[in-house]
Amino acid sequence: MARPGATCPPPARRVMVAARALLFWALVYSYCGVCACIAGLRLLWSIGRRPGETFRWVVRENPPACLNDPSLGTHCYVRIKDSGLRFHYVAAGERGKPLMLLLHGFPEFWYSWRHQLREFKSEYRVVALDLRGYGETDAPSHKESYKLDCLIADIKDILESLGYNKCVLIGHDWGGMIAWLVAICYPEMVTKLIVVNFPHPSVFTEYILRHPSQLIKSGYYFFFQMPWFPEFMFTLNDFKVLKSLFTSQATGIGRKGCRLTAEDIEAYLYVFSQPGALTGPINHYRTIFSCLPLQHHEVIMPTLLLWGERDAFMEVEMAEITRIYVKNHFRLTILSEASHWLQQDQPDIVNKLIWTFLKEETKRKRE
């Protein structure tokens, strides 16, 4: 008889690991099936109501003027040696100033940082990147090319290609996930970390398993595991889902802040209406379950976490829990009446909070 507390022999341990893995993937694909059924019912409802409109999809051939606004900066490209991918970014501020690197979320692109490009260029070289697969950045065809280690390596390589060895790193949503991971894996490259509406990845993976309400809110993670169907659903009714994400009462921008202009919406529609433009962004999610949980957790640089309290996709309780993983100065600010799209929703407040954090940290370092 085995002694109490004795470790399981290797064969038994392997069986337990295999059983847990089987249960995990069974849950993933079961919930994926549920999400697919719900999406299918919505499709049938749309066809029944407006059959002529359901499959209408307009490719925008010309970019709106706002995408070439000179006040936002200069459109640039850099090719990464190791991957061979060409990345597009918009840069504002003088070369040689400290680098501020901005990572957008889904379904966004560099333009989601327009308010910050204008604001911080006085003291920083501000670079708003199109992540791998987004916008004018190259989009590898295989989903394995979107694993988290590839996305982390992209940021490291881009930093070096821009001629910098460190930066202030800011990420929102999925870009926040990448920012956390870069800070964990390459702490020497991040002087200060600022994340908008995304918790520490370990908090997210632990919380979602214990809270069905967050599991439901994150249903799109599971729905995106399917091939081609998520992309197809986005195109229905001329990208109604995309428009709704940014403008609806439930999830949109502007309850008590800025609203997207018609031209802003056209900017998003221009980028994502291009053939194949949605596959790269959705591929970011198609490898997520094979990459988490993390082996390393701690963040050692000063960190600011900003959160919109009315985030329709992320529960605010995760923000406070994130504190335990930051082994340095940590500041959390939760903005009431603010949505998930915080830096676009309340840009003036967000910019002020970022300035305060950056100057506060500079003063603390001198003392």
Look at residue 44 in the predicted model and tell me its pLDDT: 83
Residue 82: active-site member: no
Predicted pLDDT of residue 24: 63
Is the CATH code 3.50.50.60 the one for domain 65-205+288-359?
no
Q: List the strands of the sheet with 167-172, edge to edge.
A: 74-79, 86-92, 125-129, 99-103, 167-172, 190-196, 303-308, 330-335
pLDDT tens, position by position, 188-209: 999 999 999 999 999 998 998 8
Question: Catalytic: which of 157, 173, 264, 311?
Answer: 173
CA–CA separation, 125 and 164 (whole Å):
11
**In this predicted structure, what is the pLDDT of residue 25?**
61
238 catalytically annotated: no
Q: For residues 52 and 54, what is the distance between their CA atoms, to the nearest angstrom?
A: 6
Question: What integer pLDDT is reported at residue 31 of this predicted model?
Answer: 75
DSSP, collapsed to helix, strand or coil, labels residue 364 as helix
Helices (H) and strands (E) in the chain, counts: 14, 8
The H-assigned helical ranges of the chain are: 10-49, 51-54, 114-120, 148-161, 174-185, 201-210, 212-217, 219-223, 229-247, 262-272, 279-283, 317-321, 342-345, 347-366
Q: What is the length of the chain?
A: 367
The values of phi and psi at residue 256, to 5°, are -135, 35
pLDDT confidence of residue 51: 78
Measured distance CA(152)–CA(166) in Å, rounded: 14
Low pLDDT (below 50) residues in the chain: 1-7
* Cα angle value 183/185/190 (rounded, 5°): 30
- Say which of 104, 285, 311, 345 is annotated catalytic: 285
> Which one is catalytic: 88, 200, 284, 340?
340
Beta bridge partners of 77: 88
